[in-house]
Amino acid sequence: MKPNIVIVMTDQQRADLRKGCGYPLDTMPFLDAWAQGGVDFRRAYTPNPTCMPARVSMFTGRYSQCHHARTNHNAIDALYSKDLLDVLKENGYVTALCGKNHSHRRPEAFDFHETCGHLGYEGETNETPAQVELANFLCATRHMESHVPSPGTVQEQHPYRNVSSALKFIDSLDGSAPFFAWVSFAEPHNPYQVPAPYFDMFPPEALPPLHSSKDDLPAKGPRYEWLRGVWETVLTGDIEARIRRARSNYLGMLRLIDDQFKRLIEGLEARGLSENTIVLFLSDHGDFAGEYGLIRKGVELSQILTRVPMVWRGPGIRAQGTQDDACVNIVDILPTLCDVIGVPAPVGCQGRSLTALLRGEPYPAHEFDVGYSESGFSGLYWDSKDGLTLVGEGASQNMVTFDCLNSWTQCGQVRMIRKGDYTLQVDMLGSGYLYCLKDDPYELHNLFDDPAYAQVQLDMLRELMAATLRASDPLPVPHHRYRTKIHPKGYWFDDYHCEDPGVCPMGCLADYCRHQDD
């Protein structure tokens, strides 16, 4: 029987804020211990540090510039041949969405769905007085940080309810078919709130010092400075104290999520399902969490935003613990799961199968040398000289709230690669940022125009060009004569030769072409 599949996705979780990753505070002790029985990728990247683009990429195995859902408002534009839900349903899986969606798929596309959002009335059913009280509290936060514990207990919080939904779904099955559950936590994304006892678990006055501040913003570029300027307008009062409280709540929510993840895993074990269930824990993107004097997300492609947690564990996955070498990506999830259940990846899928890495088998190391991420919906950069206003654009309500994803932060085009100890970011105007992560992990000292790094710059530019070309869209495929050669695992650097050119390793292109012609 095919394995069950559970994808646990958090929203806006920094990859490095775990003790297992070197952080001083023990925010996720269960995840750290559980990861030792699987593969904990430390160089996992999001294709786009924005909720919807990243989630559509997970389902389609395609980069945001190709699937076209490049912002949080482009679900209708998603372009692909088949996605993960299609593949799993075609192969007999019963499917469930438990939690936040924010993808191109409607909840009704899943066989079971119980949803929620970030505030109080975004899909969840609030039946008890305590649930209603929390829902009203969440709405009143206006997505800002809370300086008091959230009302109620952990049972009212969405992560608890999401896990309860997943266990309810599993208990409703008769075991005759494999299942897929997307357990999608809307946290630790803002509003930064958490109930007791988590509210006091990581006090603001006892937090580890940050590695950067607003004083570093000029070196990061004008878009970072603009973002801080907006926060200084919106965050009235002591802005640094408010950021410390946001950090404290954020870390407390990580511990709450960790406890609920433990509850989910123990629920699978109690039902005798662990031996045949692949569990993937990841996030869609990161959070500044105070670095550069910023919170949430927004501009550019720093490691803080693009690197995400990604841990796999389950049948066929060898316990390896930390995997420090391979750069993997959210787009790799679909082809990996296709490989696991023994079906070809859909036409147009751009990711690579990770099965060799998960099983501890030999793999072409060069294949996973480079991490790649992108952002931007095109056009020029908006700036203060233009006539747009935050309120007029809907990015703020009377300058007391702020949506960090807006016309200013999401415009243009930016691409980033990471290779070895270096990262390179270039935008559509040719502005470049080169950092050495070994010496400068928080990317504060731009080496792009430093003559001493001219050869490094040239090598990284070559790698960025190649990665950008590999991320170009294979759809639509040629309709007459020409055959697209695609490695069955999505590889580029393996010495692969097609034994039967009449059969596409990714499925029947003839059927796909007929569909397009229709």
**472-491 pLDDT tens trace:** 999 998 888 888 889 999 99
- To 10 degrees, the CA torsion angle through 184, 186, 187, 191? 180
454, part of any domain: no
**Residue 428 belongs to a domain:** no
Tell me the per-residue pLDDT of 349-364, one tens digit each, with 9 for 90 and over: 999 999 999 999 999 9
Q: Is residue 341 domain-resident? A: yes
Q: What is the 3-state secondary structure (H, E, C) of 357-396?
A: HHHCCCCCHHHHCEEEEEEEEECCCCCCCCCCCHHHHCCC
- Return the bridge partners of 372, or none: 417
The reply to whether 447 falls in a domain is no
pLDDT tens string 130-188: 999 999 999 999 999 999 999 999 999 999 999 999 999 999 999 999 999 999 999 99
Look at residue 477 and tell me if it is in a domain.
Answer: no
The tokens for 163 are 């896990």
Residue 165's CATH number: 3.40.720.10
Alpha carbon of 280 to those of 18, 181, 462: distances in Å? 17, 11, 33
Amino acid code (one letter) for 147: H
Give yes or no for residue 117 having a pLDDT over 90: yes
437 within domain boundaries: no
Mean residue pLDDT across the chain: 94
Domain count, the chain: 1
In a domain, 333, yes or no: yes
Over 50: is that where the pLDDT of 518 sits?
no
Percentages of the chain per state (helix, strand, coil), in multiples of 5: 35, 15, 45
Section 242-249 average pLDDT: 98
Residue 162: Cβ within 10 Å count: 29
pLDDT at 510 over 60: no
Q: Measure the CA–CA gap between 279 and 251, rounded to whole angstroms.
A: 23
Interacting residues of 127 by C-beta distance below 8 A, sequence separation 6+: none
Query: Domain span at residue 34?
Result: 4-373
Question: What is residue 509's predicted lDDT score, i.e. its pLDDT?
Answer: 44
In a domain, 218, yes or no: yes
